[in-house]
Structure 1
């Protein structure tokens, strides 16, 4: 019998269970059962599920930052041109969130419980302002690209709900069935699904590059030049 638990044990268990049951199936009762304690023991650390989600999202940031600092792929490091930096940062966020079932939904709308995100954000702002962006422009550039990335992850995980198993698709996104339901009255809308829900990696890259190109011509040194 486990007699004592701490916040980290709870969060680590919650993130592991998330991949098994998804966000809707994740409950404090289920986490308590996994830890072999009574549910009230969790309420000592988290008053409700939202507080737990906030801490889970913060732990995702900690792990993300740790991998980059520890010599991982380095895709998110603020190196190269500002365009390369922004592309790399968004790719890193996407890759990390896709590692968790419903990772995009967990991350979206949550509040960080400590200052872990401040370091990476400060590095991004430094790189952009050094490239000639005002601070306001730098913030808007990152916030636009970041929100697109999280939204794209949420859509991706609706189609491919199981992390790391791209061959598994939610049957609701069957292209032929979707086209049959829409019918011949709206032929272009019917065919659009093959692009929207087909190769989601390609769609993300195309959308992200469009956003970066838009930033380049609407703000920063290139727009003013």
Structure 2
């Protein structure tokens, strides 16, 4: 497609918001591997050029989708205590990622400096600053919470149901004695693991 074709492609009745909403529906139906600008165009009943007229490239579409996912985070009724507020924000972040198929993988693969993404980061860093962290500690702790949440949630969304059984069969007590010893604690248990990891990160704030 040439630049001339993109310019000539009319916006028609669509808006960029509508295109991103359709893209999220495709994501929920097909997963990240099945997402494409053509699939979004088919969903909307338009030509692919029309989708590209609004989002320019697939990479840009993914950035806008990632930011739209974070629009699902609500900021009402947050705890008054700073560390409790940070915990609740991280929990809402995780819940929002889980609300979309491959939501964590989508956000992990992008780096959007967009309104909803920036709003979440600002609230989280504000909570960390109010807990007594200095500027560097607040910024780096926010990154750590974000990376931890994305990584664990991506594993949660990708893990097959039988993964625990597969791990149990693979761990031989003779060749993997340490793994075998802690095997009951290596099961999915994503909610508990999230709480444990988040508390471990925020414990530095308490000291």
- 1:15 Cα deviation from its structure 2 partner: 0.8
SS in 2 for 1:14: helix
Q: Is the 8 A contact 1:179 1:191 kept in 2?
A: no
After the TM superposition, which residues 79-98 of structure 1 pair with which residues of structure 2 at under 5 Å, given as runs?
79-98=79-98
Q: Is the 8 A contact 2:32 2:106 kept in 1?
A: yes
- CA deviations 1:85-105 (Å, max 9, x no partner) are 121111010011000011001
TM-score with structure 2 setting the length: 0.82
Matched, 1:118 2:107: no
* Structure 1: runs of 5 or more not aligned: 160-169, 218-225
- 1:108 Cα deviation from its structure 2 partner: 1.1
Q: Is the 8 A contact 1:101 1:157 kept in 2?
A: yes
- CA deviations 1:121-148 (Å, max 9, x no partner) are 3343334333332122211222212211
- 1:39 Cα deviation from its structure 2 partner: 1.2
TM-score with structure 1 setting the length: 0.76
Alignment RMSD, CA only? Answer: 2.4
Q: Is the 8 A contact 2:83 2:127 kept in 1?
A: no
Matched, 1:10 2:11: no
SS in 1 for 2:142: helix
Aligned to 1:33: 42
* Structure 2: runs of 5 or more not aligned: 1-10
Q: How many residues align?
A: 196
Please, which moves more after superposition, 204-213 or 175-184? 175-184
Residues 117 and 181 (structure 1), Cα distance of their counterparts in 2 relative to 1, 3 Å cut = closer
Distance 2:22 2:166 in 1: 38
